């Protein structure tokens, strides 16, 4: 998709966009923050990990900044958007996954994942949507697991499927105000989130086997698509959930539970 040029006003002057990248202290969010900054946006890295957000913002340097937010906590999300200048772009990369078959899973574990991945997505769109205006873009991170079920990942799959639908409802509601709402749906990308699964022998190999393009993704693969959805190049796109997975959605998801059982010698 390539790098976008910074937006310009009628006189050809570059206009600085303010972008908030939630979950920007790590993995895909960090790649998104760097990409938007390289395209000329002023980026606020917001994360539950306050120290991580500060370190990453310092790495980007001024005028980029850090903020602390917990997407599961409404006052925290509300304060984030009240305290910052109105953003042109909001990217929500906060995410978390647990693992365990439904019959063994405590409801608290189920709720924890849904809280971050779905309710958090709702709170970000709600409060970003209240503040933003014409030309705004909101991008959420769903997952290949929104459409491809995985044994042991009931909460994550359900929450990400809900987030994909939420994206479409929000696009309907916010479109008349000139705010576009889209999502990207990554396949397997090595990051701290996927480290536990990647450590189980056979999981990455099975993903790659079931991927026509024959590799896992990189945070930059995802960041480039996010930057496209944040830019004027996608000005007629809303309510879209973009699959980015090397074609893995055409085949099947690895049986992580089976690999885990084999690894554990059962």
Ligand X SMILES: NC(=O)c1ccc[n+]([C@@H]2O[C@H](COP(=O)([O-])OP(=O)(O)OC[C@H]3O[C@@H](n4cnc5c(N)ncnc54)[C@H](O)[C@@H]3O)[C@@H](O)[C@H]2O)c1
- Going from the C-alpha of 14 to that of each of 11, 69, 81, the distances in angstroms are 9, 30, 24
Closer to ligand X by Cβ: residue 69 or 181: 69
Q: Binding to ligand X by residue 206, rule CB under 6 A?
A: no
Q: Which of residues 166-205 bind ligand X (CB under 6 A)?
A: 186, 188-189, 191-194
Residue 63 preceded by cis peptide, ω within 30? yes
Smallest separation (angstroms) from ligand X to the CB of 14: 29
Query: CB under 8 Å, gap of 24 or more: what pairs does 250-253 form?
Result: 250/212, 251/210, 251/211, 251/212, 252/148, 252/210, 253/144, 253/145, 253/148, 253/149, 253/150, 253/207, 253/210
Q: Taking contact as CB under 6 A, which single stretch among the options 63-71, 125-133, 167-175, 224-232 is the one that binds ligand X?
A: 63-71
Q: Binding to ligand X by residue 87, rule CB under 6 A?
A: no
Smallest separation (angstroms) from ligand X to the CB of 57: 13
Q: Is 202 left (phi over 0), alpha (psi -120 to 50) or beta?
A: left
Phi then psi dihedrals of residue 42, to 5 deg: -90, 120
Binding mask 127-166 for ligand X (x = CB under 6 A): --------------x-x-----------------------
Q: Binding to ligand X by residue 95, rule CB under 6 A?
A: yes
Q: Binding to ligand X by residue 42, rule CB under 6 A?
A: no
Q: Please state, in angstroms and rounded to a whole number, the distance separating the CA atoms of residues 153 and 146.
A: 11
CB-based contact 80:46 (threshold 8 Å): yes
Smallest separation (angstroms) from ligand X to the CB of 177: 25
- Does residue 156 have an active-site annotation? yes
Smallest separation (angstroms) from ligand X to the CB of 156: 7
**Active site residue ranges:** 156
Residue ranges in contact with ligand X by CB under 6 A? 22-23, 25-29, 47-49, 52, 69-72, 93-96, 116, 120, 141, 143, 186, 188-189, 191-194
């Amino acid at each position: 998709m390539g790098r976008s040029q910074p937006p310009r006003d009628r006189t050809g002057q570059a206009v600085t966009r303010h972008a908030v990248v939630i979950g920007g202290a790590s993995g895909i969010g960090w790649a998104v923050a760097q990409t938007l900054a390289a395209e000329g946006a002023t980026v606020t890295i917001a994360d539950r990990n306050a120290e991580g957000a500060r370190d990453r913002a310092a790495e980007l340097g001024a005028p980029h900044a850090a903020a602390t937010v917990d997407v599961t906590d409404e006052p925290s999300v509300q304060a984030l958007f009240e305290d910052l200048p109105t953003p042109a772009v909001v990217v929500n990369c906060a995410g978390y996954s647990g693992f365990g078959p439904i019959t063994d899973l405590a409801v608290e574990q189920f709720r924890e994942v849904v809280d971050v991945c779905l309710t958090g997505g709702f709170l970000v769109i709600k409060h970003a949507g209240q503040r933003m205006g014409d030309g705004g873009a909101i991008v959420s991170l769903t997952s290949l697991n929104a459409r491809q079920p995985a044994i042991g990942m009931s909460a994550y799959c359900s929450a990400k499927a809900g987030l994909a639908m939420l994206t479409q409802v929000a696009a309907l509601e916010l479109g008349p105000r000139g705010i576009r709402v889209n999502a990207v749906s990554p396949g397997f990308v090595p990051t701290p989130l996927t480290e536990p699964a990647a450590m189980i022998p056979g999981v990455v190999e099975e993903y790659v086997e079931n991927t026509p393009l024959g590799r896992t993704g990189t945070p930059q693969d995802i960041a480039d698509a996010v930057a496209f959805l944040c830019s004027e190049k996608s000005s007629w796109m809303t309510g879209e959930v973009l699959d980015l997975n090397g074609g893995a959605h055409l085949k099947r998801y690895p049986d992580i539970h089976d690999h885990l059982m084999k690894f554990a010698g059962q």
